[in-house]
Chains A and B, each alone.
Chain A
């Protein structure tokens, strides 16, 4: 039953992608190259090859060398794959960091009502600060840190910025989960002379799983976006964020290359979401615990 449902959702994801490709090509076929303009305002975009390259052009570009005539030519697809892997590593690191911070914050807020009142507004306010404003700050502070023989690397800044986005949904979802047990269940644990820690481990944590899993899914997507934006705004090399910027600069002459990079970023997001699916599978014992 569960596996057929999973199969169906995978099939509809593929169908949605196919539909998107068909719509894209249909738009190129039907709409005029210059787009649709009404009274001087363009309401539909240009559809010529410079603005909307054919899907097959984008795919073919993956196999072409990155820079024509370079000494050691590297295929665009390989560059995107290695960039995506680099960014994925940083995003997962950010997700783990943010996850730990979010869970600890939620446990603190559940334990001390004062902490919830004091911290929660700042948790929410933290997400209204634009990421682009924080990124240079983190990079600047990080540059002054050297622990032992290890000096702060730019990728560490990217990971921290990514965790800054990821911790938010986790702390909010976890707090909801930790406070989800019924009053009668809490009373039962009290009657058993269970202390705070036992109640946390045996009741509150298992009960929070159904709230935590969707929160982690949101956090994973946020971590990927955070990592890409952080790479761009701190100028970190090696990731897909940098590639998107580099390819975008040559987009007027070679739009398909930029689209290939964007495609890579989308696949990256899907892989991160898939990793959360594994987490959900591992915790499925606790999934039905929301009454």
Chain B
């Protein structure tokens, strides 16, 4: 299967090259210092979550990596090249909280959009869309309109679209923030399976501590004003052992002592960050 091929190329081709490398990244909007001295490296295939209170700059950090926001200072490398070049080469895929599908296109045509923008031929696009919709479990909805799908299904289409150019990096800004709890947990399991199958690294912005812990290799805790990394906690990302096993392992992880320990560690790190902020003011 071609997704396995992608996993191989992502793992082999990026060996030794970090998916993201940030050094001393600063971002100032007018007088507001959104990011201050952020250093962060995401290894190839690694799952890293950014967590912190509103206004801590985690979305801004994601947009810096995506080259949607220019940093005021510091260096940004994505897949071994500049953030701008990485964007132009479609080296990353991005998904936002709102699925942001185009209503006048079918589900398959939405998935094809990144390939179409890059001038990939129609037949190749079709083939890839079918493959990706199979990956996210929506093969039979290829001809449907986005408005006919539920919120969770729309988000899965958005993930398939982000994966279309076979990127080595997925950037996700609270992609499950608008979903109900049950759908959200199912989507987390889906995302883990997809990340495992494609071998893509993931930089994931979230408000939810359990979500960050269950998905991530590492959880990056940030504090606001100015946004900086206060602590990095080891996550409890379960190993991928096959297509069907993941949902079970995800459920299992949620009930282990290690999971609760990590949740507590992240919560305390967040509290500490809030406390230092209080002192600063």
Contacts and interface: CB of A to CB of B under 8 A. Distances in A.
Interface string A264-288: 0000000000000000000001101
A184 B100 contact: yes
B104 A192 contact: no
A206 B116 contact: no
Given A185-B100, A286-B104, A289-B104, A192 B114 contact: yes
Contact of B104 (A187, A190, A206): A206
A274 B104 CA distance: 24
B113 interface: yes
Interface string A196-221: 00100011001001000000000000
Contacts, number: 50
A3 interface: no
Contacts of A193: 87-90, 117-118
Category for how many chain A residues contact B: 20 to 34
A185 B117 contact: no
Given A187-B68, A188-B94, A188-B96, A194 B102 contact: no
Nearest to A194: B117
A8 interface: no
A191 interface: yes
Given A188-B96, A193-B87, A194-B117, A288 B102 contact: no
B68 A190 contact: yes
A203 B90 contact: no
A182 interface: yes
B100 A191 contact: no
Given A203-B102, A206-B104, A288-B103, A191 B88 contact: no
B147 A288 contact: yes
Given A191-B87, A191-B94, A192-B90, A198 B103 contact: no
Interface string A160-190: 0000000000000000000000101101111
Contacts of B117: 189, 192-194, 198, 202
A125 B68 CA distance: 38
Interface in B77-105: 87-90, 92, 94, 96, 98, 100, 102-104
Contacts of A289: 102-104
B111 interface: no
A206 B114 contact: no
A254 to B, nearest CB: 54
A56 B228 CA distance: 84
Contacts of B68: 187, 190-191
A185 B103 CA distance: 11
A187 to B, nearest CB: 6
B6 to A, nearest CB: 19
A191 B117 CA distance: 11
A3 to B, nearest CB: 20
A8 B2 CA distance: 53
B66 interface: yes
Given A184-B100, A191-B66, A193-B87, A202 B113 contact: yes
B90 A185 contact: no
Contacts of A188: 94, 96, 100
Question: Considering residues A192, A193, A289, which has the most beta carbons from chain B within 10 angstroms of its beta carbon?
Answer: A192
A185 B161 CA distance: 13
A203 B110 CA distance: 12
Contacts of B67: 191
Nearest to A291: B103
Nearest to B119: A198
Nearest to B69: A187
Contacts of B118: 192-193
B96 A184 contact: yes
A178 to B, nearest CB: 15
Interface in A145-171: none
20 contacts: A182-B98, A182-B100, A184-B96, A187-B96, A188-B94, A188-B100, A191-B67, A191-B92, A192-B117, A192-B118, A193-B87, A193-B88, A193-B89, A193-B90, A193-B118, A194-B117, A202-B116, A286-B104, A288-B104, A289-B104
Given A193-B89, A198-B117, 15 more contacts: A184-B96, A184-B98, A185-B100, A188-B94, A188-B96, A188-B100, A189-B117, A193-B117, A193-B118, A202-B117, A203-B102, A285-B104, A288-B104, A289-B104, A291-B103
